[in-house]
Structure 1
Amino acid sequence: MKDIFLSIFKTTEERLKNPFIGTFIISFIVYNWKPLSVFFLSSQKIEQRITFISNNYTDILNLLIYPLVTSVIYIVLLPYLMWLFESLVFKSYKERNQNLYKNKLIDINGKKSVAESEIELENLKANYKEMADLNSQLQLYKDQVVTKDLDIKALEDKIHDFTQLTNNLESKIQEKDKSINNLYIQLEDSEIKTKNYYDEYENTPENTVRDFVNNLHLINKADKNESNTFFIDRFIALGLLQVVKDEKTRKEYIQITDKGLFYIKRAFSSRII
């Protein structure tokens, strides 16, 4: 007996899970809630309730047609309506996402501009530091010259008191003057050399400078193939590299010249690599 009830219950449950049957039952309840209320909630006898319902609520439209039409609409037409609504909503969702992506792109471009400005600021700071170092070195030379002048003045004052040491003092003064002249000559040579390097760098194609900096790892490489030899000979001819012989081992090796170091420094500061 228990198995029979379980079988009936299981069969009924499967029927109720059917979309059409479930929808029809709900629609039937909606359209016929009054006779159902009378049948289940009325205090009259069951025979009276049945008679009352038979006399007042036997319209075929409410009992069958309306629930059936509603179920068909729900099962057949509603999915198409949902598809239409989802299509309309998808378009707005797509446009909203595009606006969101545009806002993110604007934010990214803004951050990129800030990063580029920060890099430019760091480069300016580096250039200012380089100029400050050069000015400090020049000021050091000037201070040395002033010191030498003070020494000379002190020696000249002593000449008046020690005439017997005039010749020695004049010799020392000449040596001091020569040292000062040498300092001026070295400073002028350094400035001329730097200007010449700068002029040559400006007249050198960017591709040549880029090749030189990017292939520095080929210098003194153990496997001297044709490519390495061509690179070294090319930049030796340009004065960027030079061959140096080690006095102890008597072996030759490649060294970057002052001009080459200037090119490397300018290439990094100009950001052409």
Structure 2
Amino acid sequence: MQVLDDIWSSIKGNAKTRYRDPLIGTFIVSWCFCNWNKLALLFWGTGKVENRIRTLSESMSVVTEPSLVFTDLNLIIFPVVITAGYLFLMPWASLWVKRKQEKSIISQHTHAVDLDIEQGKKQWELNKEKLRSNPEKDFLAKDVELDIQREKERLERRNKITNYIDKKVEAASSLAEQNKLDLEEKKRSDEKERLALQEKQRRDDTEKQRFEEQTAIHRATLASHRFPAAYYFMDLLSTSLKEDNVALSLSALSSCVAAIFGYKTVDELINDKEFHNDNLKLLKYIVLDENLTKKLDSICEQEGSEDEDVTPDLLFNHIYDLFDELPYELLSEESLAESISERVSSNAYDLLQSEELSGPMAETDTTFEEIELELVDYSFNVTFDVNLSGYASGSHRKEYGVPGQDLAVSVEASCSPVLGELGLKDYNLEISGNPRNYGDD
């Protein structure tokens, strides 16, 4: 009996090994699935067992009838096809399904992790509250002391800020009052000569204009005290557009401001450490970019607004009108050169008081009374440079009624960028002069 048991165990183990083989096991299952009707008749059909076995053997006798392979597809071909599909196609289909499920599986895991983290935070807050409410612990007293200390520090910071603002307001008021007294004192002065009277009036007008510009800049700075300079212009442009019932996104507004000051992208403006309120106080001119309309057109396309009224011309008009109410001048290069030329010419008499011309004036032995300047050319590379030239004339210092020697004067007004490439501060003058040699004319 032990020998029979060993033989049966060997047969059983060998058959189990064959069954577990992926190819053989799959083929056996596929064959049983395709020929289930034959197996059913074998085990549960009518008639004697010998007849049922004979019938099954004849229906699958491929050796004696090879044509059964093609006439009865369930015998060999279909099991082979199903086996090949299961072994070679199903793994790829399973892998495709698993890849499609990656996002959902990761999302489920992320949600579970977030839930555990949130539960941990809530448990930490609960433990903290339990610890605070325990009268036997001194944590509550220390917590109250920390709250009192924080409140005290907050009040001290508020008082310091309040004192700082009061001092600034007081200083600004004192400066305005002092400027007003100086202006009134100058107006009360009485000049006897006509040239001195005109010069005084011109000085008074210039001082008044500067005072008004500084006051306007001071108001603009206070209005944007809580925001960087870029957001100040964005807020002004947004407010102006609202008057025409036009609303732009934050991205479009920031792109408009970047285009005004010559930045290629908004990131350049944001990363520019020089774009702040302190430099805004120095801003005087903004050069009008000749490609500004194209940039505004690109901004409108990126905005993708369905409102047909949102056009580059509308944005340009609002930007241009915006600077009419600000103490900064938005001008083309030609207009800026003419504006600087007019300002320098209106204060041309001050040039005669400069140290640069004191030496050449002494050589001419002339009392200069008039100076005329003309715009020669201008250029805008890194700085905006305007070149002017002209002559100063007057009477001979020692001989009454005799014209003196003229003085050839050259002036270069240079405006340096202070905000971006196109935002310029007020000009600095470089003055030179020589006695005029009439033989060279």
Relative to the length of structure 2, the TM-score reads 0.24
Which structure is higher in RCO with an 8 Å CA cutoff and minimum separation 6?
Answer: 1
Q: Which is helix-richer, 1 or 2? A: 1
Q: Which is strand-richer, 1 or 2? A: 2
